[in-house]
């Protein structure tokens, strides 16, 4: 008797679900174009500007680490290795687009318009670090994992209801894609065709938890399918591909087609944060070396040098300028008056109840001595 064919083939269903999520790449690790179709239409000046921002971000990471160790900076999440994922994506958006960052996304926030001094004050936990200029379309970095996704969905719907052609863009890590907020946000934005571009910066680890135990899905981009929105995976160490995909996603969302989810495959060279994490406990030297060979600055430097747009002297000049910018900004932050307990109490309520008024008076008396 012939073997009866199964009415349901779960393996075939699984294979179908996992299909068609290639990694898009324009520039390989040697700085060579491997897919001309993904090379964006950027002028020579724009290419140089993008590289300048990436070098600036690497220096900012190095100096912020040093300032943290000196006790002059508070909370800091290292960004080295993620320059293409962060800065090439932000480069694709417009000033009137709204950025909702996570705590590792301070470089994008500064490039979007936040003064560096305010970024340092935010790291120190100073309220002045959250007082944004009126023309800055952004919210302060979210510390709660994935919470910025929910906020982004709401802001994106607001833009759509006001018939704006601008979009919201927001970031989380691979660990953030396991949060309930992640699913709620992309589902809500998808249902209302809201103007949003969601990024998952897959740097391999959620603190120390490896990506492979985060989800059984071969890609994180395919999680978009559950919300009925496009999902795409891109080489997050390739600034050209990240920019191209981001620009296309922005145009799609701005034109009322709904949100896009982009997974960038990237790597953070440093710790999760400088608040006690030790990456040598869960990452190998071989893994670090493998990713350093894909370094976004190295490959973009090779590409621009071959085009005659970049030199070692130019890069050194940018490095020195950035160091001076950081030195001036941290000095400005140092001059901002330190916070007092009475200030915290005053900031708690717009209209202070009697018990808070009494506490303010008590602390002001102590602070005046």
Catalytic residue (choose from 53, 58, 250, 272): 272
CB-count burial class (<10 Å; 0-12, 13-18, 19+) for 203: buried
Tell me the three state secondary structure of residue 132.
coil
Q: Is the dihedral of CA 152, 230, 27, 304 positive or negative?
A: negative
Q: How many CA atoms lie within 13 A of 41 on its CB side?
A: 2
Measure the CA–CA gap between 313 and 149, rounded to whole angstroms.
41
Active site residue 250: no
Active site residue 268: yes
Measure the CA–CA gap between 336 and 128, rounded to whole angstroms.
9
Active site residue 199: no
Q: Per-residue DSSP letters for 238-263? A: -HHHHHHHHHHHHHHHHTTS--EEEE
Catalytic residue (choose from 268, 283, 299, 301): 268
Q: Is the dihedral of CA 111, 49, 171, 269 positive or negative?
A: negative
Tell me the three state secondary structure of residue 167.
coil
Paired residues of 232 in beta bridges: 262
Catalytic residue (choose from 132, 192, 282, 363): 282
Q: Which is it for strands 98-100 and 205-206: parallel, antiparallel or unpaired?
A: unpaired
Active site residues: 268, 272, 282
């Amino acid at each position: 008797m012939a073997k009866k064919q199964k009415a349901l083939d779960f393996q075939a269903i699984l294979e179908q679900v996992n299909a068609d999520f290639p990694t898009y790449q324009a520039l390989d690790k040697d700085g060579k174009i491997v897919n001309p179709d993904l090379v964006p239409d950027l002028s020579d000046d724009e290419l140089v500007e993008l590289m300048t921002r990436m070098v600036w971000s690497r220096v900012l990471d190095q100096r912020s680490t040093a300032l943290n160790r000196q006790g002059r900076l508070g909370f800091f999440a290292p960004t080295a290795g993620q320059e293409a994922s962060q800065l090439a994506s932000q480069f694709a958006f417009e000033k009137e687009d709204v950025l909702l960052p996570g705590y590792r996304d301070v470089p994008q926030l500064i490039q979007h318009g936040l003064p560096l001094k305010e970024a340092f004050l935010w790291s120190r936990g100073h309220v002045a670090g959250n007082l944004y200029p009126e023309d800055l379309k952004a919210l302060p970095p979210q510390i709660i994992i994935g919470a910025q996704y929910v906020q982004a969905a709401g802001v994106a719907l607001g833009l759509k209801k006001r018939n704006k052609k601008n979009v919201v863009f927001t970031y989380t890590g691979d660990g953030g894609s396991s949060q309930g907020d992640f699913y709620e946000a992309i589902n809500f934005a998808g249902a209302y065709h809201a103007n949003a571009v969601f990024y998952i910066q897959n740097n391999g680890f959620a603190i120390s938890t490896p990506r492979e135990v985060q989800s059984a899905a071969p890609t994180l981009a395919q999680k978009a399918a559950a919300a009925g929105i496009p999902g795409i995976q891109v080489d997050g160490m390739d600034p050209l591909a990240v920019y191209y995909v981001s620009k296309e996603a922005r145009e799609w969302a701005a034109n009322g087609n709904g949100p896009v989810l982009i997974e960038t495959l990237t790597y953070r060279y440093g710790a999760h944060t400088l608040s006690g994490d030790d990456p040598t406990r869960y990452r190998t030297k071989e893994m670090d070396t493998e990713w350093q060979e894909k370094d976004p600055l190295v490959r973009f430097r090779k590409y621009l040098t071959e085009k005659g747009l970049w030199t070692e002297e130019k890069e050194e000049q940018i490095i020195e300028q950035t160091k001076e910018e950081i030195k001036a900004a941290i000095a400005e932050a140092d001059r901002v008056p330190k916070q007092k307990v009475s200030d915290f109490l005053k900031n708690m309520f717009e209209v202070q109840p009697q018990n808070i008024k009494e506490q303010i008076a008590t602390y002001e008396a102590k602070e005046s001595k």
